[in-house]
């Protein structure tokens, strides 16, 4: 056993690795505020995200390390806090936004907006500062899913600039074309108009400080996608697919787009949505309406993380239609979405520890 | 009773109305080749589509009219034939194509391509000449659904022009970006590139004579939609939606787009897809996963025909994934699609009888 000193505590905690980043907490600068008073020790573990799924594991590892390498009779209090990491500190656009995460799918109707809405609410509930851009100009679903279809954002003057103030709902800052045009009207625009709306949502919106800015992309691999990667470096992409062949084919196109060398945005992982249908009165029956494990196989093929599956449950769709995301309810699905949000936050932290900032795409198209 | 003469037969058949167009068959020029030999009478009823759902009704009405107004002891043989009507006889582009039908949805993933594929095969099986343009440049599903992903169209020289020869499968002529690019590659194009692909599919493809050219549109109301209505007058639009609120909102945007005065394309009707899920071993259980009657209510609200509903059945998705459309199988779903194709053909005939040719859209966007 060693004496209870700051040095020995640090030495002991060098034995605790962050299980994702696979370096020890001291090297990672995650140990702060060590205080010793007689037999009492307290310190803070600064996690890379409040949505860290391994919070308890890390805390227990710290307690064990102190017990083993300093002493068993110490009264230890571990304060778990977080500071979301970023590679965007010197970004010219949105420098206060730590991570920009695009949610893409290739194919429409696979539940991209449902996943994005639930991801945003889950991250906000974990304590993170979250924004959401609904980049589906032709079919904005986010206002409905957040039950704020009739809200209209106000404008704030900042010098010569007009900044849109996002709508805040369930702790998430939101912007969507749905707030700016009547719901029944079609937005019949060619690509450049749609692209300039996205640019405004990124550059002319008063986002303030955010840990995660999620971007709900439209289907396809066209104007909006190109404009996004040319406007702002994207931290990573979450790809949503259903297990059916025609959806996987389009998801693969989405993957190929972001992975191609000129674009080169890291893939945070693949979510398999509508993985199976379960009738509420027959919870043991799983119907693989759209096929089985398609998302998992795609992730394996491209060696990207598989973030898990979300079942097709009537209550998820109903939750979206009434504007109260499923993750806010007390159910199996709420847990599935909560777990998904932890997986995504974890992948962002791993990406930030391993890779440099994404480069803004310069290609002229 | 009257004597068996050509005049009296014509007089008798003036009592038979086309139930849709609500004019008599003689006025509509639908009676041809009247032949009388002793006590034997034969004539041809020229329907407006081979997929006419009222074939038997009209035939029986003719037999009854002859019996009632000419005589009961006549040996009558009615030959039911068809000649698909058109308002496009003098069109500068595709004059040999009688009807151009766009299949739209607003939202992606509602089964638009599945409906289009089954509609095309059902119309072809009824005896019509059918072509299909897969206008979803970023997510072409048609090659998979027709099991011809690895086909490559050949080119035919016509004077100075190169004409693409469409791939023929299950009696349908097909063109898709999927035949021209490797399946795994993303088509990362801005709008003008995508639009020019569509223009080629319309103008530089060797379609020959067609009764129906179906156009499977991508989701949204953007470049491809504008280019279509600016390139060629569209006979009518079939709108596909699922019953859920966020899909209906987008379907409504699609409707609004085509109905707006500058565009003004007739709406042939609304199809409700994935209306309910039925497990194969529990055929009496209907699960309204995506809600109930949303498509029907939308049709009523906008006073457009409701073309019926297609259930969410695992075998439909499987049929699409293996490239053998469900309508080619012997099942309840096959009948649902067959009936849908008859509804659509009927609506086209009604539209052609009542409205002048659609105008090509001139607006500059």
- Which residues does chain B have within 8 Å of residue A321's beta carbon, measured at their own beta carbons? 244-246, 291
pLDDT for residue A363: 66
Average pLDDT on A311-321 reads 89
Average pLDDT on A16-25 reads 93
Q: Is the pLDDT of residue B365 over 60?
A: no
Q: Which pair of structure tokens corresponds to residue A54?
A: 């391994």
pLDDT for residue A315: 87
- C-alpha to C-alpha distance for B193 and B178, rounded to whole angstroms: 15
What is the least distance, in Å, from the CA of B99 to any CA of chain A? 24
Name the residue facing B244 among A279, A291, A317 (closest C-beta). A317
- Using DSSP's 3-state secondary structure scheme, residue B223 falls into helix
Q: Is the pLDDT of residue A281 over 80?
A: yes
pLDDT for residue B333: 85
Confirm whether residue B110 is marked as ligand binding.
yes
Task: Cite the DSSP H helix spans in B83-220.
Answer: 112-125, 142-145, 191-203
Please indicate whether, in this complex, the C-beta atoms of B253 and A186 are within 8 angstroms of each other: yes
- B166-170 contacts, C-beta under 8 A, 24 or more apart: B166/B131, B166/B205, B166/B206, B166/B207, B170/B121, B170/B124, B170/B146, B170/B325, B170/B328
Q: Where are the beta strands (DSSP E) in B276-343?
A: 306-309
Q: Are A103 and A217 in contact (CB under 8 A)?
A: yes
Confirm whether residue B157 is marked as ligand binding.
no
pLDDT band at A182 (very low <50, low <70, confident <90, very high): confident
Name the residue facing B139 among A107, A139, A289 (closest C-beta). A107
Average pLDDT on B319-330 reads 90
Please indicate whether, in this complex, the C-beta atoms of A223 and B190 are within 8 angstroms of each other: yes
Mean pLDDT of chain A: 93
- C-alpha to C-alpha distance for B231 and B217, rounded to whole angstroms: 14
Please report how the helices B245-259 and B294-302 are oriented relative to each other, as an axis angle in degrees rounded to 10: 30
| Domain A6-82 listed as CATH 3.40.50.720 | no
Average pLDDT on A340-350 reads 96
Please indicate whether, in this complex, the C-beta atoms of A188 and B144 are within 8 angstroms of each other: no
Q: Is the pLDDT of residue A270 over 90?
A: yes
Confirm whether residue B113 is marked as ligand binding.
yes
B315 to chain A: nearest residue by CA?
A: A289
pLDDT band at A125 (very low <50, low <70, confident <90, very high): very high
CA atoms within 13 A on the CB side of B281: 3
pLDDT band at A120 (very low <50, low <70, confident <90, very high): very high
Mean pLDDT of chain B: 93
Which range has the worst mean pLDDT, B66-80, B177-191, B346-360?
Answer: B177-191
Single pTM value for the model: 0.91
Please indicate whether, in this complex, the C-beta atoms of A218 and B219 are within 8 angstroms of each other: yes
Q: Using the structure block, give the residue that is written with the tokens 């674009």.
A: A263
Please indicate whether, in this complex, the C-beta atoms of A245 and B321 are within 8 angstroms of each other: yes
Average pLDDT on B23-47 reads 96
Confirm whether residue B327 is marked as ligand binding.
no
- Which residues does chain A have within 8 Å of residue B226's beta carbon, measured at their own beta carbons? 188, 190
Question: Which is more confident, A89 or B6?
Answer: B6
Please indicate whether, in this complex, the C-beta atoms of A250 and B138 are within 8 angstroms of each other: yes
Name the residue facing B109 among A108, A145, A184 (closest C-beta). A108
Q: Where are the beta strands (DSSP E) in chain B?
A: 31-37, 40-47, 75-82, 97-104, 130-134, 155-158, 161-164, 167-169, 172-176, 210-216, 236-241, 267-272, 306-309
- C-alpha to C-alpha distance for A185 and B218, rounded to whole angstroms: 18
Q: Where in chain B do CATH 3.40.50.300 domains reside?
A: 97-354
pLDDT for residue A185: 85
Average pLDDT on A154-165 reads 93
For residue A17, give the DSSP letter: B
Name the residue facing B321 among A107, A145, A244 (closest C-beta). A244
What is the least distance, in Å, from the CA of B72 to any CA of chain A? 56
- Reduced DSSP (H G I as helix, E B as strand, rest coil) percent helix, strand, coil of chain A, to 5: 35, 20, 45
- C-alpha to C-alpha distance for B154 and B136, rounded to whole angstroms: 21
Q: What single string gives the DSSP state of each residue in B328-358?
A: GSSSHHHHHHHHHHHHHHHHHHHHHHHS-PP
Confirm whether residue A108 is marked as ligand binding.
yes
Confirm whether residue A106 is marked as ligand binding.
yes
pLDDT band at A362 (very low <50, low <70, confident <90, very high): confident
Q: Using the structure block, give the residue that is written with the tokens 């297990």.
A: A243
Q: Are A53 and A19 in contact (CB under 8 A)?
A: no
- C-alpha to C-alpha distance for B341 and B84, rounded to whole angstroms: 14
- Which residues does chain B have within 8 Å of residue A146's beta carbon, measured at their own beta carbons? none
Please indicate whether, in this complex, the C-beta atoms of A184 and B312 are within 8 angstroms of each other: no
CATH number of B97-354: 3.40.50.300
């Amino acid at each position: 056993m060693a004496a209870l000193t700051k040095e020995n505590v640090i030495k002991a905690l060098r034995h605790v690795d962050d299980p994702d980043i696979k370096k020890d907490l001291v090297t990672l600068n995650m140990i702060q505020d060590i205080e010793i008073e007689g037999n009492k020790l307290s310190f803070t573990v600064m996690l890379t995200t409040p949505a860290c799924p391994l919070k308890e594991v890390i805390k227990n590892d710290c307690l064990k390390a102190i017990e083993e390498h300093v002493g068993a009779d110490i009264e230890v209090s571990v304060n778990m806090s977080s500071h979301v990491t970023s590679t965007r500190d010197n970004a010219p656009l949105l420098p206060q936004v730590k991570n920009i995460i695009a949610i893409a799918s290739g194919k429409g109707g696979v539940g991209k907006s449902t996943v994005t809405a639930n991801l945003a609410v889950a991250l906000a509930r974990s304590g993170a500062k979250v924004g959401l851009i609904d980049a589906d100009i032709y079919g904005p679903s986010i206002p409905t899913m957040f039950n704020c279809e009739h809200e209209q954002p106000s404008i704030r003057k900042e010098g010569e600039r007009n900044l849109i103030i996002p709508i805040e709902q369930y702790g998430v800052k939101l912007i969507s074309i749905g707030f700016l045009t009547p719901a029944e009207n079609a937005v019949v625009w060619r690509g450049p108009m749609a692209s300039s709306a996205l640019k405004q949502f990124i550059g002319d919106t008063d986002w303030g400080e955010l840990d995660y800015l999620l971007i709900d992309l439209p289907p396809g691999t066209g104007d909006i996608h190109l404009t996004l990667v040319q406007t702002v470096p994207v931290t990573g992409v979450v790809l949503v697919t259903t297990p059916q062949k025609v959806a996987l084919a389009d998801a693969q196109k989405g993957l190929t787009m972001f992975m191609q060398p000129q674009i080169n945005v890291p893939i945070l992982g693949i979510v398999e949505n509508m993985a199976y249908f379960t009738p509420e009165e027959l919870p043991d029956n799983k119907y693989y309406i759209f096929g089985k494990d398609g998302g998992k196989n795609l992730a394996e093929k491209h060696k990207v993380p598989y973030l898990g599956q979300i079942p097709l449950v009537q209550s998820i769709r109903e939750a979206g239609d009434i504007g109260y995301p499923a993750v806010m309810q007390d159910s199996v699905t709420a847990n599935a979405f909560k777990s998904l949000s932890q997986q995504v936050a974890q992948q962002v932290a791993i990406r930030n520890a391993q890779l440099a900032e994404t480069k803004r795409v310069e290609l002229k198209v």
